[in-house]
Amino acid sequence: MSPIEDQFSATHIAHDELIASHVKPYIGDADWQVLTGNLGRIAEDPQPALLARVFTGISRIVKPADKGRWISLDGAAGPGRNQLPLLVKDWIPARLLRVWTLMHIPPLEQAAYVQLIERLFLYGEMEELVALYSALPVFHYPEAWRHRCTEGIRSNIGPVREAIMADNPYAAAYLDEGAWNQLVLKGFFTEADMQRIVGLEKRNNARLASALVDYAHELHAAKRTISPHLWLLVAPFMDERAYSLMRNILEQHPDTGTSRAIAVAFHRSDYAPAKALLRENSELTDLLNTAG
């Protein structure tokens, strides 16, 4: 181990133990011995066949009664430098075990490392793909996974997209503006839980807000529901086109969630007519003060 890697090995071991302690209860003793032995071999010399076998076979070693259990743990970092935290919220044991398996792969050299993991993507079944995309924050060579991440956002499989969108800091940290905007638009389009998108406000931008206003107009014309969350992203870039639609919606007596979101958006905006409307409308101002 090089001196630089050595500096990080202490934290690595801590996180390794943290994850181990969360997954161990769901695996029989004999299977646990085999698994940890294999993970040790993967860490030393990640042979593609061994990695594929361990990664694919994970669900078979979780005790049947525990397959559906949910694990949550915050901020388990990966083994390398500058890695993003792994945010584990309501994961089934197989998902965390698979990500943990991937965390054992040493950095190798970039092309070999990427190829090894890309092969798993190529042959991945649904749950494997969920784990692979969940591991984006803890893969080495983070810049090398941008294309893979944008591919995943295009997936038709809901849980695969969710693995990237929900509680995953990779996209906000590494996607360019165009790809990020697609992620957010796709999130609204597929009714994802927008609150779970890491970096939603930080990565907000004028082009995104403009596309969201177009989308809101389209939904409004089709008499479909508009997510209240959309207005919060529009707020910093409000213009006449956005404002007129929001005012129009308010006049149609929407549900409280929508009214409140529009009130908050007006409050956060610098757009004078929105500010003025807010001042004149005590019902809206009251909504600002209610929790929610």
Partner 1 sequence: MCNYSDRDQASMGQRVALELDLVQGFRFFDPHIHMVSRTTDDYQAMADAGVVAVIEPAFWVGQPRTGIDTFRDYYSSLIGWERFRASQFGIRHFCTIGLNSREANNEALAAQVIEVLPFFIHKEGVVGIGEIGFDDQTPAEEKYYRLQLELAREAGLPVQVHTPHRDKTKGTSRSMDIALEHGLDPGMVIIDHNTEETVKEVLDRGFWAAFTIYPFTKMGNERMVEIVKEYGPDRIMVNSAADWGISDPLAVPKTAALMVKSGISRETIEAVCYKNAIAAFGRSGQLDEAMLQEQAPIDQGQKFEGNSILRGGQQPRRNVGSIVIS
Cβ distance to partner 1 smaller for residue 63 or 81? 63
Q: Does 52 bind partner 1 (CB under 8 A)?
A: yes
Q: Binding of partner 1 at residue 68 (CB under 8 A)? A: yes
- Residue 189 binds partner 1, judged by CB under 8 A: yes
194 binds partner 1 (CB under 8 A): no
Euclidean distance between CA atoms 167 and 196, whole angstroms: 5
Helices and strands, number each (H, E), in the chain = 16, 2
Q: Rule CB under 8 A: is residue 28 a binding residue for partner 1? A: no
Contact between 60 and partner 1 per CB under 8 A? yes
Among 36, 56, 205, 281, binds partner 1 (CB under 8 A): 56
Residue closer to partner 1 (CB basis): 123 or 248: 123
Binding footprint of partner 1, residue count (CB under 8 A): 34
Q: Which of 5, 18, 36, 59 binds partner 1 (CB under 8 A)?
A: 59
For residue 164, the minimal CB distance to partner 1 (Å) is 12
DSSP 227-287: -HHHHHHHGGG--HHHHHHHHHHHHT---HHHHHHHHHHHHH---HHHHHHHHH-HHHHHH
Q: Which span sits near partner 1 by CB under 8 A: 64-72, 135-143, 177-185, 249-257?
A: 64-72
Using an 8 Å Cβ cutoff, are 260 and 228 in contact? yes
92 to 131: interface string for partner 1, x by CB under 8 A:
x-----------------------------xxxxxxxxx-
> Own/partner pairs for 146-154, CB < 8 Å, 24+ apart?
146/174, 146/175, 146/176, 146/179, 148/118, 148/121, 149/174, 149/175, 149/179, 150/175, 150/179, 150/182, 153/179, 153/182, 153/183, 153/186, 154/186
Q: Which tokens sit at 178?
A: 């165009």
Q: Is 63 in the site for partner 1 (CB under 8 A)?
A: no
> Rule CB under 8 A: which residues touch partner 1?
52-53, 56-57, 59-60, 64, 67-68, 92, 122-130, 156-159, 161-162, 189-193, 219, 223-225
